[in-house]
Every structure is written in structure tokens, then in C-alpha cells.
Amino acid sequence: MGRAGRKTPRLRLIRGSFSSCMSLGELQIVASPKDAPPFSPEGFVFEEDTFLVMSADPRVRDPKMPMTRIMSQLMETRPEPPGSVLIRGKDPVQILAIVHDFNEDPSLKEEWVERALEGIFKAAENLRIRSLALPLIGTRYGFIKAEGMADLLGLALKGATFRYLKSLWLIVPSGTARDMIRMLRERLKGGEKGRES
């Protein structure tokens, strides 16, 4: 009991929640860590390389086909163009952003990330995806800093038209959600005003 016979609350609000959000027109943009999803997305974006090694199953399995056929398929394999996107599966849809080429040094280029972001939003609209989870491409497996990703993402969002996509989850490291939304909001000031919450 506190002063004057009032109960003292045992819980208190801690400033700086797991997520932070803003809106861009009808698009709600939420930044939140991977372990605190703000919603269940219809589509997930994955960072990928030209030969799709990053998403390959690491388990060793019996191929159940002759070695000559496997070798023939390997020789016929062609790399995906950097900056492109591939669509895999459904419920949820997987959008692979091809932003690494391991034959290059460095393996990632900002222009590939820029093209991939444009392709991601076009693919989401073509597939009529209403909610999408997007990691900060190039920041985990590349040299791009959060500020650089905010620049690239801001450009892509300004250049996109959203008819179907209503919710965008930016998957960010813990403790960085508010900073990411703040940086993105600054980049979008030239376009439609964002509303932060």
C-alpha cells in the first residue's frame, strides 16, 4: 500500500517497447525483432545469393538419383541475376532477394539491394500479398549499415505503389526498432508524411 491507502501498482510501463511503427498512406510499417512478430505475414523475404546456396538445406541426404544425372544438373545450373527476386512456396510466400554473388568481392552491392527492394514490392503487389516480413537486407551478411538500409528502403517505398500491401514488418535487431522507424521516417519526409507511434 502506498500513501493515503492507495495500492501501489506492481507493474509499470517500460519506455521503448519491442516494436515501433509508422504509416505511409494506408501502409502500416512496423519495426520489431524476429522473436516479437507484430502479425502473421502472408510473405517472408529472404536474403539470397545467385546460386541459392544461402537457402540450401544443409542436411546431407541420399539424392535418390544417379550421380551422372546430379553432375549433369549441376553443369546446367545458371546463376540468378543479382538484384532479382524469386518466388517460392505459398502460405506463406517466400520472396528470395538475390543480393549476393560469391564470385564478386565484396559479394554484395547496394545497387543490387536497391533493385531487389523494388522487385520485392512489385512481387508483393502482383501476388496480392497484404502483409510482408522484410529483414534489413545486406546488414547481416553484408556491409550495409542500418542508416544505409533506411536510405535504400526509403527510396523503394517512395517509388512503389501499394494497392494490396497493408502491413510491412521490418525485422530488426532487438533494441533498434525506434531508431529504424525514426531513420525511415526522416527519409520519407520528402514524400508523403509518415505518422510515428
The per-residue pLDDT for range 2-28, each reduced to its tens digit, is 555 555 555 443 444 457 999 999 999
- Model pLDDT, residue 78: 85
Cβ proximity of 163 and 197 under 8 Å: no
Q: For the chain, how big is the Rg over CA atoms in Å?
A: 21
Q: Report whether pLDDT(142) > 80.
A: yes
- Residue 35: predicted pLDDT: 96
Q: Which of 55-64, 92-101, 132-141, 174-183 has the lowest mean pLDDT?
A: 55-64
pLDDT of residue 189: 87
Report whether pLDDT(193) > 60: no
Tell whether the model's pLDDT for residue 43 goes beyond 70: yes
% of the chain at pLDDT higher than 90: 69
* Backbone angles phi and psi of 45, in degrees to 5: -100, 140
Is the model's pLDDT at 191 over the cut of 70? no
pLDDT of 57 higher than 80: no
Q: How far is CA 51 from CA 2, 38, 54, 82, 167, in A?
A: 65, 32, 8, 10, 30
Q: Mean pLDDT score of the chain, rounded to an integer?
A: 86
* Residue 98 pLDDT > 70: yes
79-91: pLDDT as tens digits:
999 999 999 998 8
**All domains in the chain, ordered by first residue:** 18-54+67-196 (3.40.220.10)
Choose between 184 and 56: higher pLDDT: 184
Model pLDDT, residue 71: 63
Q: State the pLDDT at residue 61.
A: 67
71 contact partners, CB below 8 Å, separation of at least 6: none
Three-state DSSP class for residue 87: strand
- Residue 40: the pLDDT is 96
